[in-house]
Copies of this chain bind each other. A is one copy, B any other.
Amino acid sequence: MTQSDRRRSRPTMKDVARHARVSVSTVSYVLNDSGPVAPERRNRVLDAVRVLEYSPNESARNLKLRSASTIGMVVPELTNPFFAMVAEGVQKAASARDVLVVLVVPDATEQPEENQAKLLRSQRIDGVVYLSGTGSMPASIYDLARSGPVVLVDEQIPGMDLPAVVCESRKGAREVAAHALGQGHRRVAVIGGPPGLWTAQQRLAGYREAFAGAGLDPDSVPVFPGDYRQASGHDLAARALSDDPRPTLLICTNDLMAIGAMEYCREVGLRVPEDVSVVGFDDLPFSALLTPRLTTVRQPAHEMGFRAASALFELLENDESGAVGELPATVQIRDSVRPPGGGA
């Protein structure tokens, strides 16, 4: 078979109709079960469909039905396993309903995200699941939300009441910090997320609650805002650990940055957890495989993606979003935290 064979235009309903000696409407009726048709003719149609290898032109259907059976999923980057897990959840919910998921990676497209709204308006997608991440919430989210249904994941926008699927970030953050503080640490530094993100703020707030609870002045704890990427964890750890006296506990707003921080520690010969304790957030699949195993907070990433997509579908069908609720975040206590000065 040559390439040009493939170009040969595919059969249309008209072809099927001719082959089955019925009208196109009859074909449509049997294909969609949308009208009565005699068994004998129905079979003729079905046969024709088979022999011609017909499948409907979805562009035409979409045009007529004004729906694309497709949603957009904007994710900051797939190489962050947390995002990848959420993406799988979204994809799973979508494919269960036979809707397609188009991947939108804002960084990959140089143009301003204004294009996302245009994409939505162009009716190629019916709605979007928005996974905010690296960087701050773009102003264009307003355009987006005006153009069609949007469901946020792990994020919330104070001004607007967009449906959002989040988890107990604040509680999880408070608890993991409290656990670490309970080991006796007094010199602490936080490697934060992008200050513009709600989630980062929530986690920070949780940490501060824990600080206060441990009798530490929250304002005395330095916060180094990062971008949720490993490299930024690495670099900020360098800054944080150059303080004198050196912090004995590094609280990182996500696992990737915690890993970057541990990478730095290894480079400069600081032992984790003997010299410095580290905690993360997310519980990536391989966080438990590091040495030391990372103490962190597990977010139900897959579930969050699944719920977000489901909420979007409800929105599309009933014009109302089901309760999206808050999912549990559970702290995972492992080996990367130890009392300060614990030595070897």
Question: Which residues from chain A sit less than 8 Å from chain B, CB to CB?
Answer: 1, 3-4, 6-7, 9-10, 53, 55-60, 62-63, 66, 68, 70, 73, 77-79, 81, 84-85, 87-88, 91-92, 95-96, 100-103, 105, 108-109, 118-119, 121-124, 146-149, 230, 259, 262-263, 285-286, 289-291, 315, 319-320
A233 to B66 alpha-carbon distance, docked (Å): 47
- A109 partner residues in chain B, CB cutoff 8 A: 95
A88 to B108 alpha-carbon distance, docked (Å): 8
Q: Of all chain B residues, which has the CB nearest A262?
A: B289
A60 to B228 alpha-carbon distance, docked (Å): 40
A42 to B91 alpha-carbon distance, docked (Å): 42
Q: Of all chain B residues, which has the CB nearest A79?
A: B84
Q: Of all chain B residues, which has the CB nearest A70?
A: B102
CB-based contact A122/B56 at 8 Å:
yes
A118 to B238 alpha-carbon distance, docked (Å): 53
* CB within 8 Å for A91 and B103 given contacts A3-B320, A56-B122, A286-B259: yes
CB-based contact A92/B108 at 8 Å:
yes
A12 to B194 alpha-carbon distance, docked (Å): 40
- A87 partner residues in chain B, CB cutoff 8 A: 78, 103
- A7 partner residues in chain B, CB cutoff 8 A: 319
- A81 partner residues in chain B, CB cutoff 8 A: 79, 81, 84
Set B1, B102, B230: member contacting A101, Cβ < 8 A: B102
Measured between C-beta atoms, what is the minimum distance from A9 to chain B in Å?
A: 7
- A230 partner residues in chain B, CB cutoff 8 A: 285
* CB within 8 Å for A63 and B55 given contacts A100-B102, A259-B289: no
A61 to B108 alpha-carbon distance, docked (Å): 25
A320 to B57 alpha-carbon distance, docked (Å): 25
